Amino acid sequence: MKVRDVLDEWPPRKWAADDHESRVLASDAGKLRLLWFSVPDGDGWFSLTATDPEGASWSAYCRALATLWRPIERALGGALRVPLELVGDIELDSVKAPHPKP
């Protein structure tokens, strides 16, 4: 399984400028480079920070199942400064597909 297979939306479509100016992301979100990520809260939400080609910083939120966090953490940790479109292609190690809900 790949990063894009286990996160609800990859790369995230909604990004907020970290400089608190009301700007809209001008480039494709897949062209952003992963800079940092947090650990998930109790509901599985975690934040991402990425930089655009001009060096501006952007943040977004993703959600992950708790059972999949360790492989996701290893994949994201090894992909810092990598374009998000390529991060989505990273294979997660030791991950089995989650069972669909009845």
Mean pLDDT rounded to a whole number for the chain: 87
Kindly state whether residue 71 falls inside one of the protein's structural domains: yes
Let me know: does 64 contact 73? Beta carbons within 8 Å: no
Kindly state whether residue 97 falls inside one of the protein's structural domains: no
Q: Is the pLDDT of residue 96 over 70?
A: no
Kindly state whether residue 94 falls inside one of the protein's structural domains: no
Kindly state whether residue 35 falls inside one of the protein's structural domains: yes
Q: Looking at residue 57, what is its pLDDT? A: 92
Q: Is the pLDDT of residue 64 over 60?
A: yes
Q: Looking at residue 93, what is its pLDDT? A: 82
Q: How far is CA 90 from CA 13, 41, 51, in A?
A: 19, 23, 19
Provide the pLDDT confidence category of residue 87 given band limits of 50, 70 and 90: very high
Cα separation, 85 vs 78, in Å, equals 15
Percent of the chain with pLDDT over 70: 86
Cα separation, 21 vs 102, in Å, equals 44
**What is the token pair recorded at 72?**
């996701």
Kindly state whether residue 101 falls inside one of the protein's structural domains: no
Let me know: does 25 contact 58? Beta carbons within 8 Å: yes
Q: What is the pTM of this model?
A: 0.82
- DSSP lists the bridge partners of residue 83 as 33
Q: Which domain holds residue 20?
A: 3-87
| More confident site: 32 or 94 | 32
